Amino acid sequence: MNTTLTVFLKEVKENLRDRRTLMSALLLGPLLGPVIFIMIMNVVLTRELDKADQPIKVPVIGATYAPNLIDALKQQGLLPQPAMADPEAAVRNRDADVVLRIPNGFGDSWRKGQTSQVELIYDSSQRDSGGSVERLKGMLENYSHRQGAMRLVARGLSPAMMAPVAIDERDQSTPQSRAGMMFGMLPYFFVLTVFMGGMYLAIDLTAGERERQSLEPLFANPVPRWKILLGKLAATCAFSLVSLLICVAAFGFCGKLIPIERLGMRMSLGVSFASQVVLMMMPLVMLLACLQTLVSAFAKSYREAQSYQSVLMLVPVFPSILLSVTPMKIADWMYYVPLLGQQVGIMQLLRGEQVTAAQMASCVIVGLVVALLTMVATAWVYRSERLAISA
Amino acid sequence: MIEVKDLHKHFGAVKAVDGVSFAARDGEITGLLGPNGAGKTTTLRMLYTLMQPDSGQVLVDGIDVAKDALAVRRQLGVLPDARGLYKRLTARENIDYFARLQGMDAALIRTRREQLIKALDMADIADRRVEGFSQGQRVKTAIARALVHDPRNVILDEPTNGLDVMATRSMRQFMRHLKEEGRCVLFSSHIMQEVAALCDRIVVIAHGRVVADETPDALRAQTGEANLEDAFVKIIGSEEGLAA
């Protein structure tokens, strides 16, 4: 125990003196996530809010053929823009999100009581035009319904004839669950922070020491290697844990800066959320520290270890991708899979739902067992004769 | 006292050490001389338990390395070929780290550390970070670190490698000092002058085998060469890899 503590204290002291490690573990890693998150969220939210409130500007071709239609659209928040020569090109060049074209036969068919046509010119592959198109379509349908109803009334029929089925939507989502949907990437930020927090230590303490040839004298001391390894793992875990704490605290603070209530959503990143996240991530801190060290033990140099780590970094992405590509129902078995368990658990918390004690326990215990197995594997690799010899 | 009996070690097809036997006695300096690549470092690594021999036996103060490696490491002070200091720690912190790993208590660490700092004349650099040390300062720190637990047996792999004349002189003096304290000093070198000037006993290694194990005088007599350099060349069979 004494040996492990000695190694732990020395590694912590040495790495606290390394600016690069400090920057990445305590500043960049934990704060990058929240900062990016806030920036994205603010842009997305303000744009959504703006779009909903503000009138949309749409170039209209042939406005003179349907003055009544244009007036009705203006009342619903449309700002007609002057016509252009080539609306197709304008849409393709993103000069306009959508263009409304009214053919000159509009008035004729209208007066005959036939279906009059209007054209919407847009490009559905331009992601941010979707909102404008939907809104304009809604306005037009709205107008069409109203006029249709009036035609029926004028002929002495009930407008209900035209709507044999009425849809009444009852959305069961809560303000929190809607927010949870938007913040699906949050769990990955936590995992990434843990990964980044320990990465430089894991590389430095094994591959780095090997490259600087200090493992050889170190292993000449009368202490078993696994005790030395344990001290190194503890130091790695300590850094990634601190990193995680900073990250969770930062998210808690930043949650207040996002104007999410204005979208009718709620997000609770408070103390209870934070402590449950930390508890759930604890086994992952150990598991990733062991994995990173294990991978480092196969590398002869710092640089080699770094390239291995970047491959390893892809592993935590899989559950995130899996969940976003195939939106599965959250099932109990998921809590038994490290990484996936953390992902769904944090999602559950974000949606404002409870993670049961059994789910939490299986998530933590399975994680710890896997971490322990990886630790044993790492200790086994550490015994290798080659590890100490760099030249 | 270090006894080596018929040591073998191979890497793939290469027989790095192929039947090495010798003994290094207390109160003597034993020199392991051989050209680069002769198997000196591999032999020493097996002595300080970093590598396991394919066959053969190593006894340190009567303890078998294969049976109780930890006890053997306690009896040894090792300066490996790779000095491997921690550059973000000061010289004192480097020494303290290994002292704690040796299981020494704080008071003993302080006494021994200060003794060594004085003996190695490194008081002026003791609280500086190792980053930026000269080669000589590094070796001093590494030696203090290796000897902090007051070992009976001292193994030094190429201790004067990369040192300037002054540093080499003081290193040699320090080794004589260790011998006078009654320790068993075993060091490797590819420099003949050095071995000739220091050693009570010379073990010459070439191609993984011991080709001579004599006192310097006996070596001269055996080869019939008055000049030690000529004697070595004759024993090894070529001049390759040796430095005057």
pLDDT at A1: 61
Look at residue A55 and give its three-state secondary structure.
Answer: coil
pLDDT digits (tens, 9 = 90+) for B4-39: 999 999 988 888 999 999 999 999 999 998 888 888
List the single residue in A with minimal CA-CA distance to B44.
Answer: A220
Which residues is B63 bridged to in the sheet? Answer: B60
Predicted complex ipTM: 0.90
Could you state, in order of their start, the residue ranges of all structural domains in chain A?
2-40+176-388, 49-162
What does pLDDT average to over chain A? Answer: 86
**Residue predicted with more confidence, B129 or A109:** B129
Decide: A289 and A237 in contact? Cβ < 8 Å.
yes
pLDDT at B182 over 80: yes
Task: Indicate the pLDDT class of residue A263, thresholds 50, 70 and 90.
Answer: low
Task: Indicate the pLDDT class of residue B242, thresholds 50, 70 and 90.
Answer: low
CB contact under 8 A, A216 and B84: yes
pLDDT at A237: 96
- Of the candidate ranges A24-38, A93-107, B95-109, the one whose mean pLDDT is the lowest: A24-38
Compute the average pLDDT of residues B148-155. 94
DSSP state of B55: E
**Residue predicted with more confidence, A29 or A247:** A247
The enclosing H or E element of B33 equals strand B28-33
CA nearest to B54, candidates B63, B66, B62, B41: B66
CB contact under 8 A, B100 and A212: no
pLDDT at A51: 62
pLDDT at A158 over 90: no
**Residue predicted with more confidence, A35 or B154:** B154
The CATH code of domain A49-162 reads 3.40.1710
Tokens in use for A275? 């402590």
pLDDT at A344 over 60: yes
Which residues is B187 bridged to in the sheet? Answer: B31, B156
pLDDT at B196: 81
Task: Indicate the pLDDT class of residue A172, thresholds 50, 70 and 90.
Answer: confident
pLDDT at A11: 94
- Among A65-74, A182-191, B21-30, name the most confident range: B21-30
Decide: B6 and B19 in contact? Cβ < 8 Å.
yes
Could you state, in order of their start, the residue ranges of all structural domains in chain B?
2-83+152-236
Contacts of B84 in chain A (CB under 8 A): 209, 212-218
Tokens in use for A10? 């020395």
List the single residue in B with minimal CA-CA distance to A217.
Answer: B80
Q: Does domain B2-83+152-236 have CATH number 3.40.50.1110?
A: no
Task: Indicate the pLDDT class of residue A52, thresholds 50, 70 and 90.
Answer: low
* Dihedral angle sign, alpha carbons of residues B40, B44, B50, B56: positive
pTM as predicted: 0.81
Indicate the residue of A15, A212, A220 with minimum beta-carbon distance to B78.
A220
Contacts of B93 in chain A (CB under 8 A): 10, 13
Distance CA B27, CA A162 (A): 113
Q: How far is the alpha carbon of B204 from chain A, nearest alpha carbon, in Å?
A: 23
